[in-house]
Structure 1
Amino acid sequence: MSESRYDIRRFHDFLAGRTRGFTRRDLLTITAAALLPGTPDVSTVADGPIVKPLPPELFRSLGTNAETRWSALKDQGYYVPVDRFFVRNHTSTPAIDADTWSLKVTGTGLRGGPVHYSLDDLRRFPSETRAVAVECAGNGRGYYTTQQGQTVSGTAWQLGAVGVARWRGVRLSTVLRHAGISRAAVDVQPSGLDANFVSGGVDLGPVRRPFPVAKAFDDVLLAYEMNGVPLPPDHGFPVRVLVPGWIGIASIKWVGTLEVSAEPLFSPWNTQFYRLFGPEFPAEGVPIDEQVVKSAFELDPGATVPAGTTTRLTGRSWSAHGPIRRVDVSTDGGATWRRARHYGDTPGGVWQRWELDWKPAAGTHELLARATDVHGNSQPDTATYNTLGYLFDAVVRIPVTAA
C-alpha cells in the first residue's frame, strides 16, 4: 500500500472516530497551540543535541538538525559516509546502553502478550543488507522562501536533508511472525526512545508514526548497521526502523516499542504534522505522498570555478517513484539545456550520479538541473506551495562565479 493511500484511509478513520492513540480533541489542542513541526520548546533540547562533530565544511548546522553540504559529497561514492550523513532530530540524540536496550513488541494485534528482543536476539535472525534513502519531507523547504518568495514554517533545509546508506538488519516481518502477529492486525507503530516532543506547551509524547501491516511485511527493516558499522548514536543506535520509499519521519530512530494493533492507529505525526496545508488544499490537509523528484549539484551555492578551463560539474538526482532516466543541465539560467552523462553503479536504483563538462567564461552564471524518472515524473519550474514547506520539487537555481 502506498503512503498516500494509507494516510487517506486512516484520516477518514480518524474523522469517523475509529482510530486509537490520538483524538480530534488532541488535534484541536495542538492546533490552538500553533505548533511548528521541528520546532520544539527550548526546554526539550540540551546543549549539543547532536553527538557527532559538525565541521562547517561538511554540514550546515540548523539547531537540532544538520544538513549535508553537497560539496562534501563530491568524489565520495554512491553511499553517503556516516560522518557526512544529515541529522534530523526532534529533540536531541539520546544515550542508550545497547546491553540493557530491548525492543518491546506489544498490542492487540498479537496472539499473545508482549515480547521483548535484545540486540543479540535481533542479530540471531537472518540479516538483510539494502541500499535505502532517508529523506526529510521538508528537504528543500528553504527554497520556497529564497526562490519562490513564499513564507513557510519549519527548518529551512536546502537540499542536504537526504542520504543513501547501506543498511543491515532484520526484516520487520520476521520479527512480527516470531512475536505472534494475528490475522486481525492492521497497523504497526514504532516509537522512539528520544525525549518526548514538547511544543506550544503541549507534550505530544515520543516520536511515533504508524504504517500498515501490508507495508511492514513488504520491505521494512529493523536496522542495526549503517555502511558496515554499528548504527551511530545520531542515526538511531542501537536499532532504527527503515521504511523504504516513505518520508523520513516513518523511519523512526532509537526504536523502543512496536505497537501491533487490531485497530487503526494515529499520532500527531500524521495529523497535524506531515500533511499538506495551504490555499490549494482542503482545510483538513492532504496526506503526503511519496517523496518527489530532486536534483543537486555537488557544489555550494555561490561557489567559484575557474574561468576559461573545463570544469566537470557533478551531481545526483533521485525519485521515490523509481530510477532516474535522464538529467538535463543548464549553465545559463535555463536558456539552453544539455543532457548530463550518468556514471557509476546504482545499487537499489536509489539515486543516480551524473556529470557534465563545462568551460565557463568569466562572470556570474546560474546552474540548473532537471531530472526525469523512468515513469516520466520530472521537476517543474515552480513547486506547489504549502504552508509547512514539504515536498519542494522545483528545479533549483545555483549561482556560481567563474574567475
Structure 2
Amino acid sequence: MSGNAASGSVESAAVVPAAAAAAAASTAALSDRAGPADAPSGIVKPLPAEWFVPHGTNAEMRWDALREADGSAAVGRHVPVERFFVRNHTGTPLIDPEAWRLRLFGSGLRGAPTADRPVEFDLAGLRALSETRISAVIECAGNGRDYFRRQQGDRVPGTPWTLGGIGSAAWCGVRLAEVLRAAGLTGEAVDVLPTGLDADYVVDGVNHGPVRRPLPVAKALDDALLAYEMNGEPLTPDHGAPLRLVVPGWVGIASIKWVGSIEVADHPLHSPWNTDFYRMFGPGYPPGGGEPLTTQVVRSAFELAPGAVLEAGRGHRLHGRSWSGEAAVRRVEVSTDGGRTWRRAALQGGSHADDWARWSIDWRPERPGRYELRARATDRRGNGQPERAVFNREGYLFGAVVAHPVTVV
C-alpha cells in the first residue's frame, strides 16, 4: 500500500497496448445485447466446442460437459478455469500486474482522497493483508434468458443464455471490508463503486464508460471478496486478472472484473449498470424500473445435453445441480413425465450457501419415445421454482422450471 500517492497514468500503464487495441476492436460486438455472430470474441482462452457455446463476447458452459462419456463426473464442485464460462461486456484486457494498482478515493474515506491522489495498493500490499478463501458461484443475471422465448413465447433482447452462464470456483483474496478499513473507511460511507479496466462499453452509439456498479457498504462489509486467485492459481485474464470482486449470492454484474479503482462515497452512487441496466422493466414493474438487481433466484439444470438419446429398458442415473442466491438448497425434485409426477433426488456432497448442490436420481424408461425431464429445487428459506417466470423486458432472472427434452430408443 502507498498512501495518497499521485496516480498519474496508472490505469493506462497497466493495460498492455495490444490487448487494449483488441478490446477496442471488439467494442462493437458488445455485451449482454449480443453482437453479430461473426464479431471478434475478445476472449483470450480457447473455447473448444465440446465445452462452450459462444455468444459474441461471451461463452456459455455446456452442462453435458460436466459428465464423461461413461457418465462419471468430469467436473466436481468447482469448474476448472479452462471450462469456466465467460461474460464480457467488451473484450478481455491484458493487464501488467507489476504496473497495476488498486486506487481508492472518495468522501467515504478519511481525508477524502481524490481520484488524482488516491490511496493505493499493489498486489504485494493486498497479499500482505489477511488471506480469505471462499467457494462461491458467479452467475450472469441473464442466465436462462432464452427460456423466456422457448417456453413462454416472450420476446427479449440480449445474449440467448440457456443455463450455462454460471460457474462455481474456489476464490482466494482479501475481504473488501479489510481493504476499505485499511484505506480509512468512515462511518458515513454509503456506497462503494468498483470500476473495471476493460474498454468502454458502447451500445446504440452511446458510450457508457467502463463497467462499474455501486455496491451498498453493508454488502461490501459483509462477504464481498477482492480475489487474486481462482481454484488455487492466479486469476487468468478472462476471469479478471489481476484482481476481481466476488460478491456471493448476487447477480454476476456485481462481481466486477479487472478492478482498477474503488470510489467510496458518503452518498448514493450511480452508474448505467444500476440505472439503465440490471433492473426490471416491463408490465408489473414501476414505470422507472424496479430496484437494482441483487440476489439470484433458484435454478436447476441437468448434466445432460438437451435432446440426448437414452436406451429403453435399462437404468439411467440422471445428474444435475441446483442453486440459490439466498440460501443453501434444501431439496430437489425431478419429474420424468413432463411435470405430472415428481420424485425426490439425492443430494450429493452436501449443500452449501453461495454454492450449488449436486444431485442424482435413477430412472428406467421402459418405452421408446420423447420425454420431458424437469427439475425443481427449494432452498432453506423456502424459495422455489415456479412453473412460469414473470416477464421482464431484458429477460433477467429466469427462475422457472426448465423443460429438458430427451429421446428414448
TM range (shorter): 0.7 to 0.9
Aligned mates of 1:351, 1:40 — CA distance in 2: 27
**Pairing of 1:4-403 with structure 2 (within 5 A):** 38-39=32-33, 47-74=40-67, 75=73, 76-112=75-111, 113=113, 114-287=118-291, 288-348=293-353, 350-360=355-365, 361-403=367-409
> Is the Cα contact below 8 Å between 1:130 and 1:348 reproduced in 2?
no
Residue 37 of structure 1 deviates from its aligned partner by 6.1
Paired AA for residue 38 in structure 1: D
Tell me the residue number matched to 1:27: none
Aligned mates of 2:351, 2:124 — CA distance in 1: 32
3-state SS in 2 of match to 1:143 = helix
Aligned mates of 1:392, 1:46 — CA distance in 2: 27
> Is the Cα contact below 8 Å between 1:111 and 1:181 reproduced in 2?
yes
- For each residue in 1:68-106, what CA deviation from the matched residue of structure 2 results, as whole angstroms up to 9, or x when unmatched? 111112311111111111110000000111111111011
Residue 249 of structure 1 deviates from its aligned partner by 0.3
- For each residue in 1:3-62, what CA deviation from the matched residue of structure 2 results, as whole angstroms up to 9, or x when unmatched? xxxxxxxxxxxxxxxxxxxxxxxxxxxxxxxxx9623778xx983311111111111100
3-state SS in 1 of match to 2:178 = helix
Structure 1 range deviating more: 361-370 or 219-228: 361-370
Residue 262 of structure 1 deviates from its aligned partner by 1.6
Tell me the residue number matched to 2:20: none
Q: Percent identity?
A: 58
Paired AA for residue 89 in structure 1: N
Tell me the residue number matched to 2:15: none
Paired AA for residue 82 in structure 2: D
Aligned mates of 1:41, 1:353 — CA distance in 2: 34
> Is the Cα contact below 8 Å between 1:46 and 1:92 reproduced in 2?
no
Aligned mates of 1:267, 1:355 — CA distance in 2: 42
Paired AA for residue 79 in structure 2: V
- For each residue in 1:229-264, what CA deviation from the matched residue of structure 2 results, as whole angstroms up to 9, or x when unmatched? 111111100000111121110000000001011221
- For each residue in 1:196-249, what CA deviation from the matched residue of structure 2 results, as whole angstroms up to 9, or x when unmatched? 001111111110001111111111110000010111111100000111121110
Paired AA for residue 88 in structure 1: R
- Say if 1:397 and 1:65 are closer, same or farther in 2 by CA, change over 3 A: same
3-state SS in 2 of match to 1:57 = coil
Aligned mates of 1:362, 1:263 — CA distance in 2: 63
Structure 1 length-normalised TM: 0.88
3-state SS in 1 of match to 2:339 = coil
- Runs of at least 5 residues in structure 1 that lack an aligned partner in the other structure: 1-35
3-state SS in 2 of match to 1:389 = coil
Aligned mates of 1:392, 1:48 — CA distance in 2: 25
RMSD (Å), alpha carbons: 1.6
Paired AA for residue 316 in structure 1: R
- For each residue in 1:148-187, what CA deviation from the matched residue of structure 2 results, as whole angstroms up to 9, or x when unmatched? 1110011110001111110000011111111111222211
Structure 2 length-normalised TM: 0.87
Higher RCO (CA < 8 A, seq sep 6+): 1
Aligned mates of 1:264, 1:395 — CA distance in 2: 36
Aligned mates of 1:79, 1:70 — CA distance in 2: 13
- Aligned residue pairs: how many? 366
Paired AA for residue 60 in structure 2: E
Structure 1 range deviating more: 173-182 or 235-244: 173-182
> Is the Cα contact below 8 Å between 1:129 and 1:168 reproduced in 2?
yes
- Say if 1:244 and 1:231 are closer, same or farther in 2 by CA, change over 3 A: same
Aligned mates of 2:295, 2:226 — CA distance in 1: 20
> Is the Cα contact below 8 Å between 2:226 and 2:244 reproduced in 1?
yes
Aligned mates of 2:252, 2:60 — CA distance in 1: 14
Aligned mates of 1:155, 1:48 — CA distance in 2: 13
- Say if 1:152 and 1:40 are closer, same or farther in 2 by CA, change over 3 A: closer
> Is the Cα contact below 8 Å between 2:102 and 2:122 reproduced in 1?
yes
